[in-house]
Amino acid sequence: MNYVEEPSRKTPIMAETDVLVIGGGPAGLSAALAAARQGIDTVLIDRHGCFGGVITQAIVGTIAWYRYAKTVDAGGIGVEFERRAKEMGATINIIGNIKNSEMVEVLEQEGLMINGEPTYEVLETEMFKYVADTLIQEVGITPVLHCSAVDVVMDGNTIKGVITESKSGRQAILAKRVIDATGDADIAHLAGAPFRKSPKNELMEVTVNYGCSGINIGKFLMYIYLNRGSIGDWGETSGKEEDSFSTYLVEPFNKAREAGEIPKDVTIESYWTNYTDAGEITSFNGIHMKDIDCTDVWDLTKAEIEGRKRVMWAVEALKKYTPGFKKARLRTIGSSLGTRESRKIIGEYNITEHDVRNEARFEDSIGICPEFIDGYGIAILPTTGRYFHVPYGIIVPQKVENLLVAG
């Protein structure tokens, strides 16, 4: 690789704060809110034009789609996101379309509806941008959008702040405590914290989510009722999930592939969620691409462009082979790739599959998480009330002081 020499420079300080959070997704937004509510001066920066992370950028409209009747939930700010969104009209009423259909019986049997109400809220991802703004302004967080952290300010092994790049140029933000909520451990990596990253061919797939409008929801739900899938169709389970209802949808894409309308070597399969009275399904999770390193800008570019092409194939397959989709059209495409796996810090403790499967308990617990594994061809869902502790040590990186990592 060739290099250029950059001249040394003095970088202006744009802000000094008690707590600096980099990344305004669900984890970063939660961290900033928790700090500010303790009266701590807090700055929250994000590289996009809105906060919300995967909710607003990748069209992931649920905080806890896996919440069953017996699930022991963590509560806290995540549940507050649902409550405040509902109060502000930023949730989607999914009941209107199914209250007189056979799907009610299915969902009640599964424990996904109780007394006619769903166990979780579906977020209107566009409206959630405003919800996030409101939460931030209520507690006096200093927001900075369109701003990327590109380097760190270090004093030995202690992080003192970050260097940012934006339309305002290259600037520094100094902080007494830094929280890396980038999702890819970008700040931890820049600061020299050790991390793990699987080889590219072993990384979990990335996704471009999309939504459709113009759907006859009644016809579609009847099709799903008559052809409903199960969690076991998707992959390995612990046994208790084997026959549980799943929104796994593959038939129309297989038909399109057989007809030569989707390349033979391309796998498209969709999990659908978030349908509305207006004839929309706001999120299809079905464009999955392998061999993408989400810390490599060339791979990111390749996946975004290839993903959108596959979305076009998927929408045409839905229109041609799925009841209720005859007049459907593309509604939206996620404005950012959905990443499942990239860098993982090596923390003071590293949680394991054994911990999740065996309800691990820790003295330094900072929360709980329902028994839940979704990835690598395994689906274990919290249908029985099992849960594990989340230890503080997993957010504390090694070899760098003054830094926490979340998200």
Q: Is the dihedral of CA 74, 80, 207, 317 positive or negative?
A: positive
Phi and psi at 403, nearest 5°, equal -130, 135
Mean pLDDT score of the chain: 92
**The pLDDT of residue 94:** 65
What percentage of the chain reaches a pLDDT higher than 70?
98
Q: Which residues face 207 on adjacent strands?
A: 288, 338
55: pLDDT strictly greater than 90: yes
Write the burial class of residue 233 (CB in 10 Å: 0-12 exposed, 13-18 middle, 19+ buried).
middle
pLDDT value, residue 118: 77
Q: What is the pLDDT of residues 205-238, one digit of tens each?
A: 999 999 999 999 889 988 988 888 788 777 777 7
CA–CA separation, 345 vs 307, rounded Å? 28
Burial 116-129 (b: 16+ CB within 10 A, else e): eebbbbbbbbebbb
- Which one has a higher pLDDT value, 18 or 356? 18
Residue 315 has a CB neighbour count (10 Å cut-off) of 20
Residue with structure tokens 């209520």?
138
Average pLDDT over residues 362-390: 89
Could you read off the pLDDT of 247-276 as tens digits, one per residue? 889 999 999 999 999 999 998 988 887 788
Its sign, for the CA torsion 293, 299, 204, 391, is positive
Residue 283 banded pLDDT, cuts 50, 70, 90: very high
What is the rounded average pLDDT of the residues 234-248? 79
Query: How far is CA 95 from its chain centroid?
Result: 24
Domain ranges of the chain: 11-197+343-407, 200-333
CATH class of domain segment(s) 11-197+343-407: alpha beta
Residue 97 pLDDT: 54
Model pLDDT, residue 227? 86
Q: How confident is the model at residue 239 (pLDDT cuts 50, 70, 90)?
A: confident
For 144-195, the pLDDT digits (tens) are 999 999 999 999 999 999 999 999 999 999 999 999 999 999 999 999 999 9
Token pair belonging to 25: 């997704």
Give dist(CA 124, CA 210) in Å, integer: 14
Q: Kindly report the backbone phi and psi dihedral angles of residue 355, in degrees, each rounded to the nearest multiple of 5, phi listed first.
A: -60, -45
- Non-local CB neighbours of 296 within 8 Å, separated by 6+ positions: none
CB 239 within 8 A of CB 383: no
Residue 353 clears pLDDT 60, i.e. is over it: yes
**What is the per-residue pLDDT for 199?**
96
The pLDDT tens digits for 289-341 are: 999 999 999 999 999 999 999 999 999 999 999 999 999 999 999 999 999 99
Partnered with residue 373 across adjacent β-strands are: 380
For the ranges 227-236, 279-288, 359-368, the lowest mean pLDDT is seen at 227-236
Q: Confidence band (pLDDT; 50, 70, 90) for 100?
A: low
Q: Sorting pLDDT into bands at 50, 70 and 90, what band is 115?
A: confident
In this prediction, residue 229 carries a pLDDT of 79
Write the DSSP assignment of 78-145 as a string of letters.
Answer: HHHHHHHHHHTT-B---STTTTTSTHHHHHHHHTSEETTEESSPBB-HHHHHHHHHHHHHHHT-EEE-
C-alpha span between 374 and 17 (Å, rounded): 37
278 vs 10, 214, 274, CA distance in Å? 55, 8, 11
- CA dist., res. 321 & res. 253, Å (int): 8
